[in-house]
Chain A
Amino acid sequence: MLTLTSPIETYAHRLPAGLKLVLLCGFTVLLFALKSPLALLCAALPLIVGIAAAGRSFATSSVRMLRPLLPFVVIVALWHLITKDPFGLPILIRMITAVAAANFVTMTTRLSDMIAVIERLARPLAPILPPKALALAMALTVRFTPTLLARAAEIAEAWRARSPKRPGWRILLPTTLAALDDADRVAEAIRARGGSA
């Protein structure tokens, strides 16, 4: 399955994931403490330099990753133009900068490194959440998402072969049943191989 990690190897890929996450937390807290647009722009500057330093095509995909924010940017901008309220600008700069910074960390950290951080953070929970069970559950979900997606597509195709109408919500029940049956079979397979705990 495709991850959001950028295939373009940058300097930031080589930094440890934990360090990047701590820096991101600090940066985000700072952004929410700043109120004036000028101070926020100053804070955004090192981020922009950092993204630009990773190369043109990396920077382009960084900008593309911000697209889900567009409707919110339009709404907030319109709102503050109509009400003539100047507080829209810091909100927009903060939102875009914070999301861009978080995306930067996601794009420069491999999924396996991120999962290692999750497992490290979950270690204190070991008595109630065995690390092995967590690792197995994450692996199963990653493995079964494309499998289940293919199954849903098959079910939709079977529907289309029999009906001129679009499949729509009718594929919901068979897809859910497929997930349940897969879960039963995998549970049996795991038990046959010595169990999960």
Chain B
Amino acid sequence: MEKNLTYIALFAALIAVLGLVPKIDLASGVPITAQSLGIMLCGTVLGAKRGALAVLLFLALTLAGLPLLSGGRGGLGVLASPTVGYIIGFPIAAFVTGLIVQSWRAPILPVAIVAAFVGGLVVLNLIGIVGMAFMLGKTLPEATLLAAPYMIGDTIKAVLAGLVTQAIGQMRPDALLSRG
């Protein structure tokens, strides 16, 4: 009971930290923020329910006025901005990611990579793009064009999430609540 609570709270803090850590530069110099990596890790490590709860906790504090979103954004304004779809998509992405890890009992590395890809890239971008199309009055293909450049980084993040999840499984097997 206590462990569930502290894991959810600490992973909510981890999402914030990954968004605040100055951008992680990848090989080609594509500057990406690691925030959606935090979302993926919530799903792969904590599982569907706890992962989604950690993201909801993070969002509640962000909307309440803490500048925890990447770039120091926060407050109620994010709900009215074009990126609102990504905000709504965050907990759903963590849930889907966790659900895949929980129910697909194959070796953790490929499962976690696929789960992070499906949840953190496919599901998150689907909702994010619909939101952007609505807020900016664009068609879905036009909004997809705006989101496309970020998907390269998201693919790399899904692989990183898988590697980190595998390492946690080896170093702290008890902590992998999604497989517990």
Asked if A141 and B2 sit within 8 Å, CB to CB, the answer is: no
A182 touching B1, Cβ below 8 Å: no
The answer to the question of A57 belonging to the interface, with a C-beta cut-off of 8 Å to chain B, is no
Interface size in chain A (residues, C-beta < 8 A)? 69
Cα–Cα distance between A196 and B2 once the two chains are bound (Å): 6
Residue of B10, B37, B61, B68 touching A186 (CB-CB under 8 A): B10
B6 interface residue, CB < 8 Å from A? yes
Indicate whether A95 sits within 8 Å of B82 (C-beta atoms), given known contacts A118-B60, A137-B5, A190-B6.
Answer: yes
- B106 located at the interface, meaning its Cβ lies under 8 Å from any Cβ of chain A in the complex: no
Bound together, the chains give a CA A87 to CA B61 distance in angstroms of: 35
Within 66-86 of B, Cβ neighbours of A (below 8 Å) are at 66-68, 71, 73-82
Residues of B within 8 A of A148 (CB): 10, 13-14, 16-17
Provide a sorted-by-A list of 24 A–B residue pairs whose CB atoms are within 8 angstroms.
A3-B67, A65-B75, A72-B82, A75-B136, A95-B82, A102-B76, A102-B78, A106-B77, A114-B64, A115-B64, A138-B57, A141-B9, A141-B10, A145-B13, A148-B16, A171-B21, A172-B34, A172-B37, A176-B168, A177-B171, A179-B10, A179-B13, A186-B9, A187-B6
Which of A's residues lie within 8 Å of B, judged by CB? 1-5, 24, 28, 65, 68-69, 72, 75-76, 79, 87-88, 91, 95, 98-103, 105-107, 109, 111, 114-115, 118, 133, 136-138, 140-142, 144-145, 147-149, 152, 156, 166, 168-169, 171-173, 175-177, 179-184, 186-188, 190-191, 195-197
